[in-house]
Amino acid sequence: MTAPTGITRVTLLKDLRLEWRSKDAINSMLFFSLLVVVVFSFSFDPSAEESRQIAGGLIWVAFLFAAVVALNQTWARELRNQVLDAYRVSPAPANSLFIAKTLGNFIFVTVLEALMTPLFVVFYRLRALGPAWQLLLVAVLGTWALVVNGTFFAAMSLRTRSREIMLPLLLFPISIPALLAMVQSTTAILNGEGARFWIVLLVTYDLVFTTVCLLLFETVLNAE
Amino acid sequence: MTENTPVPVNVITVSNLIKQFGRFAALRGVTAEFSGGKLYAILGDNGAGKTTLLRTLAGLNQPSSGEIAILGASKFHDICQQVGYMAHPSLLYDEMSGMENLEYFARLYGITSRERCAEVIRAVGLDPELVRPVGQYSQGMRQRMSLARALLNDPKILLLDEPFSNVDTHSATEMVRLLARTRDQGKTLFIVTHQASLLEGAADEFVWMESGKIVGRTRELKRPERHGESAGGNLTGENSK
Amino acid sequence: MRKAFPILGVLTAILLSYALYMALVGAPTERTMGDVQRIFYYHVPSAWTAFILFFINFGASVLYLIKRNPAADIVALVSAEVGVVFCTVVLVTGPIWARPVWGIWWTWDMRLTSTLVLWLIYVSYLFLRRFSSSGQTPLLAAALAVLGALCVPFVYFSIWFFRTQHPQPVMGGGGSIDPRMLHVLLINWLAFSCFAFLVCWSRYRLEKLQRDVDHAHALESLLAPRGSVR
């Protein structure tokens, strides 16, 4: 029997390969992210001093929108040709699938963020007064918070009507504490203030929700 | 014909199986025993419950009530390594080649050998070296590749739901021949199909379903007489007509 | 048990009337805010009641996940619905109170903000129940309820810290409270709890009846020949 980590690895590689092959999806996602940044720049004047204060919030809202579009995509592939059934009848554990999907989404969303961040920095003339490495830490923790819940709720919404609207509907309320933490810590670091409380909150949030999602995923996957 | 391989009696036992989707009862009390080493063709009109029965056997549906025992186990997951499942959708990724698909699914069963994947692909009459993505296959090729996927783990039981649907006659006949050979090797096959004539020479038994129940089981391809509704499915044996 | 309902109903009505009297007349008038402050006796007990109901929802959902008990599923549904109603009361009385006192419709104070997030979480729960097909609803909803409940401490912590960094006008109950006011507050809370219990019980019976009817229909379609029922 392949170890569960082996199955996770193979599933992740398979997903990355499929994503790469259907370049349409990636390209449209990248372009969408670009559009979001531009629209925000028109809505919140970058030259105004206030905008630089709220840039932390703007970035994360932009990431959130991009993440939702990405998350809706990745499970859709498993529905075509009912491939998910093939996974379910195999001995492979449900959690390996969950971790593989979450990691895949994490990579995908990170790529989008990597595109959007330089644009934001340039448009809003952002400079980090605090330690920049902390920004990276916040980005990783925050993205994981969005993606782990997002993958879980996307799987849940596979079984519902209006699948695409259900995902943000379920994801946004529960993500509010994490969003607050992401935004506050980003703003704090950009302004050279301490962000320790928020980072600790993010770490705790990530640990708690990753654990619970892992515990509940099998139930959700097999609810027919 | 090999009868010297001892096969377990009653590979699958179903007892008063009921499956309801809201108010619609897809299975209304199915009771039957199926012994090993046979090819069962499950026939019936649309809505008879054939697909629901197969999916319930495959562990994809939870029965509303009733019992199932497959290879002695009541939970599908305990014996999933020994069951292969195939349906009308291909259960394959359109953007990957046949070999890539099979290599992935093989890993889910703990099989790491590329050679095994190639062997199974050849067994269904396809070329392992073909790099064309599965999405570009003809329906016949796609179904054959799907069958190859189901055979990867050398299962004792094969559950096939409409495998010949929209398949050209040549591919279909090839598949039937392969399935009969698989049965000869001692495996048990359950095939749901609308094209019963394809299985006329190969099937050991025809299981007729109607309105969520088994209404008869025959050796020949002749629909059993309607005796009115009987509670649960009964073995009516051969039809003498 | 059936007899108990009308008796409890009458008792609750009496209790509510008494609580209303105490809130509007009996309680001392607040020094700075005047009579407007009396809405506090609706605002705060509603929040507490909602919180208890959401806690019950969490317990029932966990019970369902472990035991798959259909009654637990109904309790979860009922407590979420009634909890959302009480949450709405908090969110409505808040602005009604804030406007005359502070001149603003909304304040991002701790209670109001947390209640808003809670309201959002449980409304999304109700949406999930409505949008999923009946077979899987209990399981999916229970999973969501567990995640939502686990989110609650994070909601409170994050808003608490946010508020200490960005102070806002606090809506009542900040510091110490006059014991007579506390007395009226507790009476109102008791009355609200009884009322909530009655509503939940009613709703529970309604839902149970509905499900029994559905079961009967399903059984009928199971036994009758196909095509004769629908």
In chain C, residues with a C-beta closer than 8 Å to the C-beta of B212 are 226
Place of tokens 């195999």: A90
B144 or A159, which is more confident? B144
Average pLDDT over residues A149-161: 91
State the pLDDT at residue A193.
Answer: 83
Q: B106 with B112: CB under 8 angstroms? A: yes
- For C112, the token pair is 């109001």
Q: Do B23 and C221 touch (CB under 8 A)?
A: yes
Average pLDDT over residues B217-229: 74
Q: Do C225 and B229 touch (CB under 8 A)?
A: yes
Q: Which of B60, B83, B94 sits opposite A224 (nearest CB)?
A: B60
Residues 6+ apart with CB under 8 A from B210: B44, B45, B48
- Apex CA B42: angle with CA B38 and CA B45, to 5°? 170
Does residue B217 carry a pLDDT above 60? yes
Exposed, middle or buried: residue C190 (CB in 10 Å: 0-12, 13-18, 19+)? middle
Rg (CA), chain C: 21
Predicted complex: ipTM over 0.85: yes
Reduced to 3 states (helix: H, G, I; strand: E, B; else coil), residue B2 is: coil
- For B4, the token pair is 């010297």
Q: Is residue C225 part of a domain?
A: no
- For C64, the token pair is 């369902």
C-chain residue closest to B20, CA distance: C218
C-chain residue closest to B28, CA distance: C222
Whole-model pTM: value is 0.89
| Chain A contact present for C151, CB below 8 A | yes
| Chain A contact present for B149, CB below 8 A | yes
State the pLDDT at residue B226.
Answer: 64
Q: Do A180 and C147 touch (CB under 8 A)?
A: no
Q: At B155, which amino acid appears?
A: P
Average pLDDT over residues B72-88: 90
In chain B, residues with a C-beta closer than 8 Å to the C-beta of A77 are 93
Structural domain boundaries in chain B: 12-218
Q: A187 with A63: CB under 8 angstroms? A: no
| Chain B contact present for C99, CB below 8 A | no
| Chain A contact present for B160, CB below 8 A | no
Exposed, middle or buried: residue A9 (CB in 10 Å: 0-12, 13-18, 19+)? middle
Q: At what angle do helices C70-102 and C179-223 cross, to 10 degrees?
A: 140
Q: Is residue C161 part of a domain?
A: yes
Distances (CA, A) of A173 to A47, A61, A221: 32, 14, 22
In chain B, residues with a C-beta closer than 8 Å to the C-beta of A90 are 80, 105, 108-109
| Chain C contact present for A106, CB below 8 A | no
Between B and C, how many residue pairs show a Cβ–Cβ distance under 8 A?
A: 25
What subunits touch chain B, counting only 3 or more CB pairs under 8 A? A, C
Q: Which of A7, A81, A82 sits opposite B107 (nearest CB)?
A: A7
| Chain C contact present for B44, CB below 8 A | no
State the pLDDT at residue B25.
Answer: 85
Distance from CA of B92 to the nearest CA of A (A): 6
Mean pLDDT, chain A, integer: 89
Stretch among A184-188, B10-14, C25-29, C45-49 having the lowest mean pLDDT? C25-29
Q: Do B60 and A91 touch (CB under 8 A)?
A: no
In chain C, residues with a C-beta closer than 8 Å to the C-beta of B22 are 133-135, 214, 218
CA A169, chain centre distance (Å): 15
Question: Containing domain of residue C73, as a range?
Answer: 4-167+174-200
Rounded-to-integer distance, Cα B163 and Cα C212, Å: 40
A45 or B217, which is more confident? B217
Confidence band for B5, pLDDT divided at 50, 70 and 90: low
Q: Do B22 and C225 touch (CB under 8 A)?
A: no
E-assigned strand segments in chain B:
12-21, 24-34, 39-44, 65-70, 83-86, 157-161, 188-192, 205-210, 213-218
Between A and B, how many residue pairs show a Cβ–Cβ distance under 8 A?
A: 74
Q: For the residues of B171-183, what is the DSSP string, one character each? A: HHHHHHHHHHHHH
Q: Do C135 and B229 touch (CB under 8 A)?
A: no
| Chain A contact present for B107, CB below 8 A | yes
Residues A124-144 pLDDT 10s: 888 777 788 889 999 999 999
Q: Do A177 and C158 touch (CB under 8 A)?
A: yes
User: Where do the H-state alpha helices sit in B19-97?
Assistant: 50-57
Touching A: C residues 159-178, CB under 8 Å: 159, 161-162, 165
Q: Look at chain C and report how many structural domains it folds into.
A: 1
Q: In what order do the strands lie in the sheet with B205-210?
A: B83-86, B157-161, B188-192, B39-44, B205-210, B213-218
State the pLDDT at residue B229.
Answer: 46
Q: Select the residue from B27, B75, B81, B93 to test the A interface by mutation, using most A Cβ atoms within 10 A.
A: B93
Reduced to 3 states (helix: H, G, I; strand: E, B; else coil), residue B192 is: strand
Q: Do C135 and B212 touch (CB under 8 A)?
A: no
What subunits touch chain A, counting only 3 or more CB pairs under 8 A? B, C
Q: Which of A184, A198, A212 sits opposite C147 (nearest CB)?
A: A212
Q: B181 with B16: CB under 8 angstroms? A: no
Distance from CA of B104 to the nearest CA of A (A): 7
Q: Is residue C209 part of a domain?
A: no
> By C-alpha distance, which of C89, C10, C100 is closest to C49?
C89
The count of other CB atoms within 10 Å of the CB of residue B104 is: 23
Distance from CA of C212 to the nearest CA of B (A): 12
Stretch among A136-145, A186-195, B30-39, B208-217 having the lowest mean pLDDT? A186-195
Q: Is residue C218 part of a domain?
A: no
| Chain B contact present for C133, CB below 8 A | yes
User: In the CATH hierarchy, which top-level class contains the domain B12-218?
Assistant: alpha beta
The count of other CB atoms within 10 Å of the CB of residue C50 is: 27
Mean pLDDT, chain B, integer: 86
Confidence band for B150, pLDDT divided at 50, 70 and 90: very high
Rounded-to-integer distance, Cα B114 and Cα B106, Å: 9
Each residue's pLDDT, cut to its tens digit, for chain C (230 residues) gives 677 888 888 989 998 888 888 888 877 777 777 777 788 888 889 999 999 999 999 999 999 999 999 999 999 999 999 999 999 999 999 888 888 888 888 878 888 899 999 999 999 999 999 998 767 889 999 999 999 999 999 999 999 898 887 777 666 555 567 788 888 889 999 999 999 999 999 999 999 999 999 888 888 887 776 655 44
Rounded-to-integer distance, Cα B206 and Cα C198, Å: 58
Helix (H) or strand (E) holding A145: helix A132-157
State the pLDDT at residue A91.
Answer: 93
Confidence band for B232, pLDDT divided at 50, 70 and 90: very low
Q: Which of A80, A88, A92 sits opposite B94 (nearest CB)?
A: A80
- For A145, the token pair is 């918070």
B229 or A132, which is more confident? A132
Q: Which of A160, A208, A216 sits opposite C143 (nearest CB)?
A: A216
| Chain B contact present for A80, CB below 8 A | yes
In chain A, residues with a C-beta closer than 8 Å to the C-beta of C133 are 159-161
Q: Is residue C228 part of a domain?
A: no
C12 or B241, which is more confident? C12
Q: Do C222 and B24 touch (CB under 8 A)?
A: no
Q: Which of A82, A85, A89 sits opposite B80 (nearest CB)?
A: A89
Exposed, middle or buried: residue B113 (CB in 10 Å: 0-12, 13-18, 19+)? exposed
Q: Do A224 and B87 touch (CB under 8 A)?
A: no
C-chain residue closest to A148, CA distance: C147
Q: A178 with A145: CB under 8 angstroms? A: yes
Between A and C, how many residue pairs show a Cβ–Cβ distance under 8 A?
A: 93
Reduced to 3 states (helix: H, G, I; strand: E, B; else coil), residue B160 is: strand
Question: Percent of chain B having pLDDT more than 70?
Answer: 90
| Chain C contact present for A121, CB below 8 A | no
Q: Which of C124, C158, C159 sits opposite A173 (nearest CB)?
A: C124
